[in-house]
Amino acid sequence: MSAYSPASEVILRHTDEFTERRVLFAGDIQDTLAARFEAKETRVYCTQYHHWNRLHPAMGDRATFSLLPDAALTDGIDTLIYYWPKSKQEARFQLDALLSLLPVGCELFIVGENRSGVRSAETLLADYGAIAKIDSARRCGLYHCRLERQATFSLEEWWSEYHLDDLIVKTLPGVFSQDGLDVGSRLLLSALQNVGGMVLDVGCGAGVLAAAMAKSAPGLKLTLSDVNAAALEAARATLAANGLHGEVLASDVFSDIQGRFNLIVSNPPFHDGLQTNLNAAEALIRGAVKHLHPGGRLCIVANAFLPYPNLLDAAFGSHEVLAQTGKFKVYQAILGRAARSR
């Protein structure tokens, strides 16, 4: 099995093209090709903290985690290799930010799986230079464009918001439930009772769960974490818009979390990009035991078909179902207390 994603394997078919270039990798980077890439210089712009965690040990300061690129990151770069994400709006957001800084004449290579919608690169980049498909393999497409004019970018133009009762939710492209609260999170909120003390929201997205709990139970001490730089910025904005306070930090599940909590809540992802990946949810369930006070609770919502009951029982001894629909279940596990399993 290859250590590289299908998109990276397509890039590897063209390695001779890059040996004398100064290359910036960006987008949905699923592997460590950038750390081993043969080029005059290689840098990486990550908007996902777990992607940065994989690359930073080998690349040091040449790997950056941030919401937006800056002039220092793009200085001297003559080539962009961009991995297309599953969200077209997220791609446009990131590419507009990058193309506002990269110089005219920069070579752009856009790669992604066909099912991700990478074909949209043809229309999205048409205003910035002639774009053509130059390779197709591993169910991926590779497109090339020479930048003929820079983009304009203003972060303020990308903000949007919606309301959940009296709660203002601020969002950015690429943030989960960007256009409204998803059904699973709504079910989780309806099932939460007797919330108090120190609360951790893992995979916080725009901060809806934490903000809604704080609105209904003033005095909570909130910690919100996510791997997505856009989600972290949105969560901070959501708290500020509602006059709420909490610590918002980048963490790959518990990688950067300190201390213990009375309640850990999450609507954990089961995809990394386009790929099904239960690693984050499994790490959440197993690691929660070390981050809960005795009697503390882990409450998660998940698609009913996912194999979380056995994981909860293995970590906590038992679990209970607080709420369910035909598609979702809200699970609760309590540290150091027998919970009725059903």
Q: Are residues 116 and 224 in the same domain?
A: no
pLDDT for residue 339:
41
Q: What is the average per-residue pLDDT within 86-114? A: 97
Query: Quick check: 193 pLDDT over 50?
Result: yes
Q: Is residue 200 part of a domain?
A: yes
238 lies in the same domain as 299: yes
Residue 290 lies in a domain: yes
Q: Among 147, 171, 202, which residue terminates a domain?
A: 147
- Shared-domain flag, residues 164 and 71: no
Contact predicate 263/296, CB 8 Å: yes
List beta partners, residue 192. none
CB 297 within 8 A of CB 329: no
Domain boundary among 87, 115, 147: 147
12 and 142, same domain (yes or no): yes
14 and 163, same domain (yes or no): no
Instruction: Tell me, yes or no, whether 67 lies in a domain.
Output: yes
Would you state the pLDDT for residue 319?
A: 96
Percent of the chain with pLDDT over 70: 95
Query: 152 — phi, psi (to 5°)?
Result: -105, 145
DSSP codes joined into one string, 57-103: HHHGGGEEE-SS--HHHHTT--EEEEE--S-HHHHHHHHHHHHTTSP
Element (H, E) at 210: helix 208-216
Residues 142 and 207 in one domain: no
Domain containing 141: what range? 6-147
In this structure, the answer to whether residues 134 and 202 fall within a common structural domain is no
Query: What's the structural domain count of the chain?
Result: 2
Q: Are residues 169 and 143 in the same domain?
A: no
- Residue 338: pLDDT band (50, 70, 90) is low
The 3-class secondary structure across 281-293, one letter per residue, is HHHHHHHHHHHEE
Is residue 277 over pLDDT 80?
no
- Per-residue model confidence as pLDDT tens digits over 53-80: 999 999 999 999 999 999 999 999 999 9
Residues 115 and 196 in one domain: no
Domain assignment of residue 153, yes or no: no
pLDDT of residue 337: 64
Say whether both 126 and 195 belong to one domain.
Answer: no
- Of 98-112, 135-149, 272-286, 301-315, the range with the lowest mean pLDDT is 272-286
Mean pLDDT across the chain: 94
Report the DSSP pairing between strands 198-202 and 261-266.
parallel
pLDDT of 191 over the 60 cut: yes
Does residue 14 share a domain with residue 36?
yes
Distance CA 175, CA 9 (A): 28
End position of a domain, from candidates 117, 147, 177: 147
H or E element in which residue 124 lies: helix 121-124
Per-residue pLDDT averaged across 213-241, rounded? 96
Strands (DSSP E) contained in 165-291 are: 167-171, 198-202, 221-226, 247-250, 261-266, 271-272, 275-276
The pLDDT confidence band at residue 145, using thresholds 50, 70 and 90, is: very high
229-241 vs 208-216: helix crossing angle, rounded to 10: 20
Quick check: is 31 in a domain?
yes
Same domain, 205 and 316: yes
Confidence category of residue 271, pLDDT binned at 50, 70, 90: very low
Judge whether residue 311 has pLDDT over 60: yes
In a domain, 1, yes or no: no
pLDDT digits (tens, 9 = 90+) for 29-53: 999 999 999 999 999 999 999 999 9
Q: How remote is the C-alpha of 258 from its chain's centroid?
A: 21
Residue type, 59: M
Tokens of 216: 């209904």
Give the pLDDT score at 333: 97
Residue 65 lies in a domain: yes
> Is a pLDDT exceeding 60 seen at residue 196?
yes
Q: What is the CATH number of the domain that holds 212?
A: 3.40.50.150
pLDDT at 18 over 60: yes
Report yes or no on 313 lying in a domain: yes
